[in-house]
Amino acid sequence: MRVHTLDGESSVLPRIPTPGPSGQLTRTSRHTIDVGGKKRGYVLVEPTEIDEQRRYPLVLVFHGDGGDAVGFHQAWPFERATGKDAFLAYLDGINAGWDLETTKNNREVAFVEAVIAKLESERPLDRTRLFATGYSSGGFLANVLACHRPGLLRAIASNAGGAPYNQLEKWANGYPKCPGQTPVAMLALHGERDSGVTLDSGRFSAEYWAYVNGCKTDEMETSGYAECRVYRGCPAGKAVGFCSIPPLGHWVWDQAAEASWTFFERQ
């Protein structure tokens, strides 16, 4: 892998520190929705003052195994990065987990689509700016969602997660492939001391999407974060990056929200 050092700022992942706690910029509420005859829950974070003349992006956020939407939102308030400029939906897994195995008619994919449809009918969302991020199994789910539903998401970010696996088809190089799968921008963030999901899993998820997206898989360049590199030669809006965090174990990097949101905005 050749890594090129940029002289100026990265156009894909510049360093843009967030202002911090959102204060009164957002409000949080809990909701339920019926999906296939089962009640599913989610936490909605939205701007306190909504400009009806705007169309807002939506970020879907998925907790790890054993967690839930409320707890993960408390632990990782993504609105510290988005402020009043986006809606966030933290989804609840069944029995504190996610179905990553079902390759057709996956219940989690149906859940996500139902939440998007409901919010789109009630809030001024921009359907062309849907994003997903998650931690651990939730990071895997973001990958699975992008794989199963081509064109649904503008970009994803995975924390301590990994690429889709055991899918119905294969790419020419043998990588798992979903029917009709298309490129999606992707940022993989992973702790170098992660003993729950190894660093290789995060690295491979970036390699996976770099291949799917048609990037130069043997060339990367520096970004605004010393921990992050981005692949060269990716199509416009289909960037792929990888952040390797030296002191981090199996958790979310303290700069993950700001880096992910900056990456999302650049796509």
- Each residue of 149-192: pLDDT tens digit? 999 999 999 999 999 999 999 999 999 999 999 999 999 999 99
Mean pLDDT of 128-137: 98
Rounded-to-integer distance, Cα 76 and Cα 256, Å:
9
* Main-chain phi, psi angles of 185, to 5 degrees: -65, 140
* pLDDT score of 20: 64
* pLDDT score of 23: 65
| C-alpha separations of 2 from 20, 230, 240 in Å | 35, 11, 15
Rounded-to-integer distance, Cα 206 and Cα 223, Å:
15
| Mean pLDDT (the chain, rounded) | 96
* pLDDT score of 22: 56
* pLDDT score of 24: 84
- The total number of structural domains in the chain stands at 1
CATH number at residue 47: 3.40.50.1820
- What strand order describes the sheet that includes 87-91? 2-4, 216-222, 228-232, 240-245, 185-191, 155-159, 125-135, 56-62, 87-91, 38-47, 26-35
Rounded-to-integer distance, Cα 18 and Cα 248, Å:
20
Residue 147: HSE in the Cβ half-sphere, 13 Å Cα cutoff:
31
Residue 137, pLDDT > 80, answer yes
Residue 55: HSE in the Cβ half-sphere, 13 Å Cα cutoff:
8
Model confidence over 6-64: pLDDT tens digits? Answer: 999 999 999 987 766 656 899 999 999 999 999 999 999 999 999 989 999 999 999 99
Rounded-to-integer distance, Cα 261 and Cα 155, Å:
10
Rounded-to-integer distance, Cα 222 and Cα 13, Å:
9
- The domain in which residue 164 lies consists of 2-266
Instruction: Give the chain as a DSSP string.
Output: -EEEPPSS--SSS---------GGGEEEEEEEEEETTEEEEEEEEEESS--TTS-EEEEEEE--TT--HHHHHHH--THHHHTTS-EEEEEPPBTTB---S--SS-HHHHHHHHHHHHHHHHS-EEEEEEEEEEETHHHHHHHHHHHHSTTT-SEEEEES-----S-SEE-TTS-EE-TT----EEEEEEETT-SSS-HHHHHHHHHHHHHHHT-EEEEEEE-SSTTEEEEESPPTT--EEEEEETT--SS--TTHHHHHHHHHHH-
- CB 60, CB 129: distance < 8 Å: no
Mean pLDDT of 98-102: 97
* pLDDT score of 54: 96
Residue 75, pLDDT > 60, answer yes
> What pTM was estimated for this model as a whole?
0.97
- CB 48, CB 84: distance < 8 Å: yes
